[in-house]
Amino acid sequence: MKGLGGQKVLLVHSSSNKPSSGGAGSPGMGRRRVWLVLFLALFACVSLASLLSSARDASSAVGGRRRAAQSASVGKVAVSSSSAAAKGKHLDEAVGPGLPAYVFDALVQYAAVGGNTSGSMPAADVRAIAAALKRRGAPCNLLVFGLGGETPLWRALNHGGRTVFLDENQWYVSHLEGRHPGLEAYDVAYTTTVREFPDLLEAARAARAAECRPVQNLLFSDCRLAINDLPNHLYDVAWDVILVDGPRGYTASSPGRMAAIFTAGVLARARKEEGAATDVLVHDYEREVERACSREFLCEENRVPATSTRSLAHFVIRGGSAVRRESFCGGAGATVSAA
Phi-psi region of 155 (alpha: psi -120 to 50; beta: other; left: phi over 0): alpha
Reported as a pLDDT band with limits 50, 70 and 90, residue 328 is very high
| Domains in the chain: boundaries | 33-95, 101-329
Whether 61 shows a pLDDT value over 70: the answer reads: no
DSSP letters for 48-103? HHHHHHHHHHHHHHHHHHHHHHHHHHHHHHHHHHHHHHHHHHHHHHHH-SS--HHH
pLDDT band, residue 52 (cuts 50/70/90) = low
Highest mean pLDDT among 73-77, 108-112, 186-190, 335-339: 186-190
Task: Flag the least confident range among 175-184, 198-207, 315-324.
Answer: 315-324
Whether residue 332 has pLDDT greater than 60: no
Give me the percent of the chain exceeding a pLDDT of 70: 68
Q: Is 16 helix (H, G, I), strand (E, B) or coil?
A: coil
SS3 content of the chain, % helix, strand, coil (to 5): 50, 10, 40
In 3D space, the residue among 192, 152, 157, 186 whose CA is nearest the CA of residue 172 turns out to be: 186
Confidence of residue 322 (pLDDT cuts 50, 70, 90): confident
> What is the reported pTM?
0.70
Q: From CA 104, how far away is CA 134, in angstroms rounded?
A: 9
Residues 6 or more apart in contact with residue 268 via CB below 8 angstroms: 239, 242, 277, 278, 280, 317, 319
Residue 336 has pLDDT above 80, yes or no: no
Provide the pLDDT for residue 88: 40
Local structure of residue 188 (DSSP, 8 states): -
Is-contact 25 33, C-beta < 8 A? no
Q: Residue 161: pLDDT above 60?
A: yes
CA dihedral 169, 172, 176, 177 (to 10 degrees): 60
| Arithmetic mean of pLDDT, 204-211 | 94
Whether residue 46 is predicted with pLDDT greater than 80 in this model: the reply is no
The pLDDT confidence band at residue 163, using thresholds 50, 70 and 90, is very high
Q: What is the mean pLDDT of residues 43-67?
A: 55
Q: What is the DSSP string of 124-171?
A: HHHHHHHHHHHHHTSS-EEEEE--STTHHHHHHHTTTSEEEEEES-HH
| Cα separation values, 312 from 278, 308, 316, 334, Å | 16, 6, 13, 21
Residue partners of 26: CB distance under 8 A and separation at least 6: 19
- What is the chain's mean pLDDT, rounded? 80
Helices (H) and strands (E) in the chain, counts: 9, 6
Q: How confident is the model at residue 18 (pLDDT cuts 50, 70, 90)?
A: very low
What pLDDT does 113 receive? 79
Are the C-beta atoms of 249 and 287 separated by less than 8 Å? yes
Is residue 91 over pLDDT 90? no
The CATH number of domain 101-329, selected from 3.30.530, 1.10.530, 1.20.1070, 3.40.50: 3.40.50
